[in-house]
């Protein structure tokens, strides 16, 4: 007898469950006809017109699709989940074979009309004709809109490639101010559970909030981004610095080789190529600031020009006729020595140390134009190498 009661109860439960989900297309078609009879989608949802309609939103970020600093184009893929209650769309499930929810096209019901206000090209709103809205028997509506959003994001490239950026998606509900609609976010942050990591940008923080803009209800989704700079260090900053420093070693080439000017000009052109690459990547604007990297490379190029001029000057020193005396100021600055010891290698004897007056007279005879060129090259090498290193250190001190 106990087993019979158990099976009877189990059968009853199965019948209830079956009857709950056993509605057919005819039942759903009848529900649609009844719901949309005399339904006006132009009227805002909410029976009590003295209070604003409560709309709840959340944003799920899927991917950072593109961020072009030169054109200020920022593209992300994400989903807005928006919910509200429209009492006109409520029904009694018992009258429709226990239907508790259904799907309908977004163009059939009233929607919170959110339009993007910082588009990259054309202005557009949330959703499309392909999007469906979940409708529940108590009138609750859940609108899930997955889109690719293209907006304008002006990049601050001052510290490029060690820069941080803030980009936002900005929407406004035209026609509905704070007295008509109250938008709140279930989470003050962007939800990243489905986010696919970007190889170029790291998301440091996010924000999602509503606000009042010109008496209209607005929505802002903000992303704080940090550039992943490893590639730029290995592929841009270090190579262009090494090429620039290489130009200093032009002073180590012999003047008689005839390759000094050609080597210096070639390295200078390589620095100009790096400058062109950077200009192609950065926006053509001076606000808020020009990239410090651009100033660094400009310093490299400027110093390269000076090095090239010094090489030409050194070459001229080298080919001056020996019959032309070396000016005194060059002897003092480049060739002057306090004393001189000459060793007779044939006999192994050493000449006495000359007095200061005799030493200066001897120096005037022994300091040739080739000696001037060698001393000039030595000082230019040390000075240029120090200046290149100083520029590099100043750059990293400013950006880090």
Mean pLDDT, to the nearest integer, of 5-24?
48
Of 306-310, 312-316, 329-333, 372-376, the range with the lowest mean pLDDT is: 329-333
Return the ∠ at Cα 74 (arms to 71 and 76), rounded to 5°: 155
Higher-scoring residue by pLDDT: 278, 92: 92
How far apart, in whole angstroms, are the C-alpha atoms of residue 306 and residue 293?
20
Residue 350: its pLDDT value, please?
43
Return the ∠ at Cα 249 (arms to 245 and 252), rounded to 5°: 170
Assigned domain for 332 exists: no
Residue 12 has pLDDT above 50, yes or no: no
State the pLDDT confidence band at 323, using cuts at 50, 70 and 90: low
Higher-scoring residue by pLDDT: 373, 111: 111
The answer to whether residues 224 and 239 belong to one domain is: no
pLDDT in tens, 350-384: 444 444 444 444 444 457 777 777 888 888 899 99
Residue that is last in its domain, among 205, 228, 251:
228
Question: How much of the chain exceeds pLDDT 70, in percent?
Answer: 80
pLDDT in tens, 31-90: 999 998 889 988 888 888 888 899 999 999 999 999 988 888 999 999 999 999 999 999
Residue 191: its pLDDT value, please?
95
Beta bridge partners, 73, equal 68, 152
Residue 13: its pLDDT value, please?
43
The answer to whether residues 43 and 123 belong to one domain is: yes
Residue that is last in its domain, among 169, 199, 228:
228
Residue 335: its pLDDT value, please?
64
Residue 329: its pLDDT value, please?
62
Of 22-26, 80-84, 123-127, the range with the lowest mean pLDDT is: 22-26
Residues 6+ apart with CB under 8 A from 361: none
Residue 326: its pLDDT value, please?
65
Of 119-133, 172-186, 328-342, the range with the lowest mean pLDDT is: 328-342
Return the ∠ at Cα 262 (arms to 278 and 276), rounded to 5°: 10
Residue 151 has pLDDT above 90, yes or no: yes
CATH number reported for the structural domain that contains residue 128 in this entry: 2.70.170.10
How far apart, in whole angstroms, are the C-alpha atoms of residue 83 and residue 183?
10
The answer to whether residues 198 and 237 belong to one domain is: no
The answer to whether residues 45 and 142 belong to one domain is: yes
Assigned domain for 262 exists: yes
Residue 179: its pLDDT value, please?
83
Assigned domain for 85 exists: yes
State the pLDDT confidence band at 349, using cuts at 50, 70 and 90: very low
The answer to whether residues 249 and 292 belong to one domain is: yes
State the pLDDT confidence band at 153, using cuts at 50, 70 and 90: very high
pLDDT in tens, 258-302: 788 888 888 888 888 887 887 777 766 666 678 888 888 889 888
Assigned domain for 346 exists: no
Assigned domain for 345 exists: no
Residues 6+ apart with CB under 8 A from 216: 172, 173, 174, 175, 176, 177
The answer to whether residues 152 and 300 belong to one domain is: no
Higher-scoring residue by pLDDT: 320, 63: 63
Assigned domain for 113 exists: yes
Look at residues 83, 87, 220 and name the one whose alpha carbon lies nearest to residue 143: 83
Instruction: Please report, for residues 42, 43, 113, 137, 210, the alpha-carbon distance to residue 107 in angstroms, rounded to integers and kept in the order given.
Output: 11, 13, 11, 19, 24
How far apart, in whole angstroms, are the C-alpha atoms of residue 283 and residue 147?
27
The answer to whether residues 192 and 268 belong to one domain is: no
Mean pLDDT, to the nearest integer, of 200-208?
95
The answer to whether residues 139 and 213 belong to one domain is: yes
Range of the domain at 93: 2-228
The answer to whether residues 211 and 272 belong to one domain is: no
CATH number reported for the structural domain that contains residue 301 in this entry: 1.20.58.390
Domain count, the chain: 2
The answer to whether residues 244 and 283 belong to one domain is: yes
Residue 270: its pLDDT value, please?
85
How far apart, in whole angstroms, are the C-alpha atoms of residue 247 and residue 387?
12
Assigned domain for 20 exists: yes
The answer to whether residues 256 and 187 belong to one domain is: no
Of 107-121, 157-171, 196-210, 324-338, the range with the lowest mean pLDDT is: 324-338
Assigned domain for 16 exists: yes
How far apart, in whole angstroms, are the C-alpha atoms of residue 193 and residue 148?
18
End-to-end alpha-carbon separation of the chain, Å? 83
Q: Are 141 and 187 in contact (CB under 8 A)?
A: no
The answer to whether residues 160 and 279 belong to one domain is: no
Provide the H-helix boundaries in the chain: 2-20, 25-35, 230-232, 238-246, 260-281, 292-319, 328-330, 356-366, 369-399
Cα-Cα-Cα-Cα dihedral of 296, 302, 303, 304, to 10°?
A: 110
Residue that is last in its domain, among 196, 228, 260:
228
Residue 216: its pLDDT value, please?
82
């Amino acid at each position: 007898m106990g087993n019979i009661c158990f099976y009877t109860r189990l059968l009853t439960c199965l019948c209830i469950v079956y009857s709950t989900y056993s509605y057919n297309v005819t039942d759903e078609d009848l529900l649609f006809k009844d719901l949309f009879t005399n339904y006006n989608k132009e009227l805002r949802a909410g029976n009590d017109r003295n209070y604003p309609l409560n709309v709840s939103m959340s944003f799920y970020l899927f991917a950072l699709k593109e961020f072009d600093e030169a054109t200020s184009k920022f593209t992300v893929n994400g989903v807005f989940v928006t919910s509200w209650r429209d009492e006109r769309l409520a029904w009694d499930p018992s009258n429709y074979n226990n239907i508790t929810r259904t799907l309908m096209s977004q163009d059939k019901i009233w929607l919170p009309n959110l339009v993007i206000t910082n588009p990259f090209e054309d202005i557009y709103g949330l959703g499309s004709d392909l999007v469906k809205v979940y409708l529940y028997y108590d009138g609750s509506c859940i609108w899930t809109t997955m889109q690719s959003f293209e907006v304008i994001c002006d990049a601050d490239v001052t510290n490029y490639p060690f820069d941080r950026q803030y980009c936002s998606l900005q929407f406004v509900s035209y026609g509905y101010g704070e007295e008509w609609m109250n938008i709140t976010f279930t989470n003050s942050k962007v939800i990243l559970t489905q986010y696919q990591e970007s190889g170029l940008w790291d998301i440091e923080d996010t924000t999602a909030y509503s606000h009042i803009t010109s008496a209209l209800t607005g929505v802002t989704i903000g992303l704080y981004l940090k550039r992943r700079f490893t590639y730029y260090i290995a592929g841009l900053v270090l190579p262009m610095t090494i090429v620039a420093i290489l130009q200093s070693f032009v002073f180590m080439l012999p003047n008689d080789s005839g390759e000094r000017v050609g080597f210096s000009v070639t390295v200078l052109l390589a620095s100009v190529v790096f400058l062109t690459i950077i200009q192609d990547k950065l926006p053509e604007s001076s606000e808020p600031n020009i990239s410090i990297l651009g100033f660094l490379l400009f310093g490299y190029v400027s110093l390269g020009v000076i090095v090239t001029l010094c090489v030409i000057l050194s070459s001229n020193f080298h080919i001056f006729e020996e019959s032309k005396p070396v000016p005194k100021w060059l002897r003092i600055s480049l060739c002057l020595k306090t004393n001189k010891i000459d060793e007779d290698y044939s006999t192994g004897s050493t000449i006495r140390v000359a007095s200061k007056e005799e030493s200066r007279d001897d120096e005037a005879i022994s300091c040739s134009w080739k000696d001037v060129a060698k001393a000039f090259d030595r000082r230019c090498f040390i000075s240029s190498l120090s200046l290149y290193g100083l520029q590099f250190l100043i750059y990293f001190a400013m950006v880090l």
